[in-house]
Structure 1
Amino acid sequence: MRIIEVARTSAAVAETSGRKAKVAALAACLGRAGAREAPIVVAYLSGELPQRQIGVGYAALRDVPPPADVPALTVAEVDAAFTEIGAVSGKGSVARRRELVAGLLARATRAEQDFLIRLLAGELRQGALDGLMVEAIAAAAGVPAADVRRAFMLRGSLGPVATAALADGADGLRAFTLEVGRPVKPMLAAAAPSIDEAFGKLDGEAAVEWKLDGVRAQVHVSGGDVRVFTRTLDEITERLPEVVAAVRELPVRDAVLDGELIALRPDGRPHPFQVTGARTATRTAKDADPVPLTLYLFDVLHLDGADLLDAPGADRNAALARIVPDHLRMPRLVTADPAAAKAMFDEAVARGHEGVVVKSLDTPYTAGRRGAGWIKVKPRHTLDLVVLAVEWGHGRRSGLLSNLHLGARDAESGGFVMLGKTFKGLTDELLAWQTRTLRELAVREDDWTVHVRPELVVEIAFDGVQHSTRYPGGIALRFARVLRYRPDKSAAEADTIDTVRAVAPVMD
């Protein structure tokens, strides 16, 4: 398959706002690609590289050679070139990577150059997010979208799922099963502004669990082997010897457990999130006195040979209670009384935690999706937004990137809707960190503003939402302030513009 076909599909998807039209264009391209090249095409149309990072920054894309006259580059040739570029290391590697990039671009037409440059720069925002790509794979292969979605949940990557679907249809998708040792995409929670509203979305009794300001942990147990993964499916086992030791005490042979890691003070109150984040980000636990992490488990996906993904939440919790002692389980209350749930909420907040998660007792474990089965309630309005650009500071902040441009995801178009700017809540440490980090994500800049790849997620507190003619979404956040950065979240997991409107009513 030629890369021009992918480039044209990308442009067509970007130019249409209709979900069905986007899916149709993506499906047609995948159908032409076939099973062998499907993983590469899926990645490119999702704005990603199969190799993930190949060491090409914005500087390497500034000097573009004259374009070719006729499109001849194939998908396989581009993929091989990216692999070669990513393998370059050692002295002179920067110059060599630029040479290889220039050589690739010299073989591309103007349209292909534009596509490849935006792909490498992380600016391919045509809207082919996971949800649309799942539907496109289903349409191209003639299989139910639910089957593709489940396979994606279990495999954690759409490329292999596309290959299986296009090659073997539904039978190929059924081959994806939960494997102990291979992390699955975690189930996510929707948001509600109050306990009453959360209970209003569920029917009858529900479980109310503390919501911690920690790091999500998926724990896989196989015999005496314990492995720990983050919500981004990265393994952090070697950093957590105390967690591994605690899990080895459980009376299980094989299990997949879901929970949260958090650093607690001696009085039981949580350390700031930065302490937990720094502890899980440490490559080894060789510090003289590392801050210990406490593991709270709240779900089980597999237990001693039995998959529990499709079991009701109440049954999964009963299985968890059989093998996990109280001190390792998330505090939980099952009730139909919103007042009792509010008391649980107040206790969690009083102990320094974020709030609670209200969970249906009937819902299966729908990994990788924000469904109505789990609903988080916090005492303040917070959103996970994406940094779109940042302005240079002045006065005491001269020389530092300060004022953040904040965007919510547009689930329909796949782009981002700007909701305002803020420089509030930034400590000196955060200012220094974001200046370094955002410069690395820069795609273009002028004397005042640095525009960045939309990859960095930041948690924002705000007092409300108001109408605005200044921003394209017609709304803006009131008194937005930075709480923390969320390197554990991808931009695809940021809150949507619809969530913004649902969490906080728009005020005049």
Structure 2
Amino acid sequence: MTTGRLADLVAASDALADEPGRNEKVRIIVEALLAAGDRADLAARYLAGDPPQDRLEVGWAAVRDADTAPAEDASLTLDDVDAALEVLATAGGPGSRGARMTALNGLLARATSAEQAFLRHLVMGEMRHGASAGMVAKGIAKAADVPETVVRRALMLSADLGEVATLALTGGRPALEAVGLVVGRGVQPMLASTTESVTEVVEELGTAVVEWKLDGARIQVHVDGEDVVVFTRNLNDITSRSADVVAAARALPMQQAILDGEVLAMGTDGLPWAFQDTMSAFSRDEGERPALSPFFFDLLHVDGEDLIDQPLSARRQRLTALVPDHLRIPSVIVEDAAAGEAVAVESLDRGHEGVMVKALDAPYAAGRRGKQWRKVKPVKTLDLVVLAVEWGSGRRQGWLSNIHLGARIDGPDGQPEFVMLGKTFKGMTDAMLEWQTARFLELETHRDQRAVHVRPEQVVEIALDGVQTSRRYPGGVALRFARVIGYRDDKSPAEVDTLDTVRALGGLPPR
């Protein structure tokens, strides 16, 4: 076997960006994995934009300011890249910033112009060639000639795309099927799709579990005797910041377990804190923050027995027997839509987001958002104005895609001015992308390296999950999970929602 060349992977990335077809993208990924030789693990993770290092301690400005002349000849290997990224992730103590910049500049100095562009996107977590981890998993299955379901299950249990690529290409199906659930190793979480109606889902399923949807941080808790590990939704280890969760888990009557749940801060009135306040509490010292309360809703393993293939009805019974009421998310088995809607009303009345509706016969399965778990939340909408637009990449190459959103404030002369709240590229159809590209080029005032700036004339209706404080944007707030509903040609910029209206959605005072 040979160690993969970075130049080959960059060529594959460029080909992915130019190719709109999904099947052809998968073919390109297959060729890239095979060309990487014994570093197919790194090729898989780099294509998915997920290097093995959990956190690269270098910011956008540092990457932007690393002005290094490109090399004329391609010489870098994937191992070279991995070694440099390891320095970015692990350098600490006095002189650590200098060590990181030396590693970054040294890597870029050995890279060609095309390789530099690829590395900058990789370091910043902004791969723009349109290949998701799911698509790379499909490529792994085809490269190894194994069923995609086998690859996805191994990926769920190992949560390591690189390891799955190596196992598939060296050991085939038997090696993948040997991957098991391990207490202490993160498991990819099961996800939910979104729907607008509890009634619709309950009528479809017949009998279902309707569960409060808490606006907390997703956690996965692994217990092995006195050893407790707490993972985030993205499987980052936050045990050192989760003393309350660790204490609650240690008190449960079992030796081993893997629990799925949420953690959030609760007020003295019994109402939940806002999501952003729960998240900021994690960064405070133990004595300076409120208790962070865990609430569990699923059980994947207990005392040597894996439960992921059992139906939710069985897992729910085991969870109820193991975890006391005050540590479980309230849920009710319902047989009719009216009962399900009543649970949703109760959840909202208690200050939570909405509900989850789950099929009783569903096993625990990670990966694509399926129909066995659905989340139902009231939809918030805003009318905002577009301030700038960024060019798309991958299948959106050649279209203006990511729009900058602005709310209205009163200027010194009483005329409306606009302040940026964030960006979104969600919810756009191909027809919408084509239309808005032409429209915003008509409104263009100037360009910079990142965006086409436009006259603030086009109103857009946005759906969002909420509003949170932010130092990143001048309005002091940011939108959570904003997506486009449609463009409003019937409204003028003077009619868009004000910054104070936006802040009020997040329970924040006027500016």
Q: In the TM superposition, what whole-angstrom CA distance separates every residue of 1:224-257 from its partner, at most 9, and x where no partner exists?
A: 3333222121233333333333333322121111
TM-aligned CA deviation for residue 132 of structure 1 = 0.3
- Distance in 2 (alpha carbons) for counterparts of 1:83 and 1:341: 50
Q: Is the 8 A contact 2:421 2:473 kept in 1?
A: no
Q: State how far apart, in whole Å, the 2-side matches of 1:373 and 1:426 are.
A: 25
- Where 2:286 maps in the other structure, the secondary structure is coil
Match of 1:328 in 2: 327
Q: Percent identity?
A: 40
Match of 1:454 in 2: none
Q: Which moved more, 1:153-162 or 1:233-242?
A: 233-242
Residue equivalent to 2:420 = 402
TM-score for the superposition, normalised by structure 2: 0.76
Equivalent residue, structure 2, for 1:107:
110
Contact 1:393 1:402 in 2 (8 A): no
3-state DSSP of counterpart to 2:297: strand
1:211-230 correspondence to structure 2 within 5 Å: 211-230=213-232
Measured after TM superposition, the shift of residue 65 of structure 1 is 4.4
Please say if residues 199 and 340 of structure 2, whose CA atoms lie closer than 8 Å, have aligned partners that are also in contact.
no
**Once superposed, what is the RMSD of the aligned Cα atoms?**
3.9
* Per-residue Cα deviation, 1:325-365 (whole angstroms, up to 9, x for no partner): 22222211111200111111111111111111111001111
1:260 to 234, 259, 262: 262
SS at match of 1:321: helix
Letter in 1 for 2:15: A
Question: Following the alignment from structure 2 to structure 1, what is the Cα–Cα distance between the partners of residues 333 and 361?
Answer: 13
Relative distance call for 1:391 and 1:3 in structure 2 (3 A) is farther
Determine the structure 2 residue equivalent to 1:490: none
CA contact (8 A) 1:143 1:170 kept: yes
Q: Distance in 1 between matches of 2:96 and 2:213?
A: 46
Counterparts of 1:106-505 in structure 2 under 5 Å? 106-200=109-203, 202-282=204-284, 284-287=285-288, 290-381=289-380, 402-408=420-426, 430-432=469-471, 434=473, 458-460=479-481, 465-467=485-487, 481=502
Q: Report deviation, 1:308.
A: 0.6
User: Cα distance, 1:193 vs. partner?
Assistant: 0.8
**How far apart are the structure 1 equivalents of 2:347 and 2:469?**
27
CA apart distance, 1:99: 4.6
* In 1, Cα distance between equivalents of 2:277 and 2:136: 37
Q: Distance in 1 between the 2:66 and 2:267 partners?
A: 53
Check conservation: 2:211, 2:357, Cα contact below 8 A: yes
Distance of 2:108 and 2:475 partners within structure 1: 29
Distance 2:482 2:371 in 1: 23
The count of aligned residue pairs is 448
Does the 8 A contact of 1:243 with 1:294 survive in 2? yes
Preserved CA contact (<8 Å) 2:465 2:482: no
Number of the residue aligned with 1:489:
none
Amino acid aligned to 1:160 = E
Displacement of 1:56 after TM fit? 5.9
CA change 1:410–1:343 in 2 (3 A) is same
Q: What displacement does 1:389 show? A: 5.4
Tell me which residue corresponds to 1:452. none
SS of 1:281's equivalent in the other structure is coil
| Aligned-partner residue type, residue 29 of structure 1 | A
One-letter code aligned to 2:182: E
Task: Please name the residue that 2:444 is paired with.
Answer: none
Q: Which amino acid aligns with 2:225?
A: G
In structure 1, what is the equivalent of residue 18 of structure 2?
A: 15
**Residue of structure 2 in register with 1:506 after alignment:** none
1:44 paired with 2:46, answer yes
C-alpha distance in structure 1 between counterparts of 2:59 and 2:278, whole Å: 31
Q: Check whether the contact 1:240–1:285 (CA below 8 A) recurs between aligned residues.
A: no
Gapped runs of 5+ residues in structure 1?
439-456, 470-477, 485-508
Query: Are the aligned partners of 1:381 and 1:461 in contact in 2 as well (CA < 8 Å)?
Result: no
Say if 2:460 and 2:488, in contact at 8 Å, map to a contact too.
no
Q: Larger deviation: 336-345 or 68-77?
A: 68-77
Higher relative contact order, structure no. (Cα contacts within 8 Å, ≥ 6 residues apart): 1
Question: What displacement does 1:76 show?
Answer: 2.1
Give the letter aligned to residue 271 of structure 1.
W
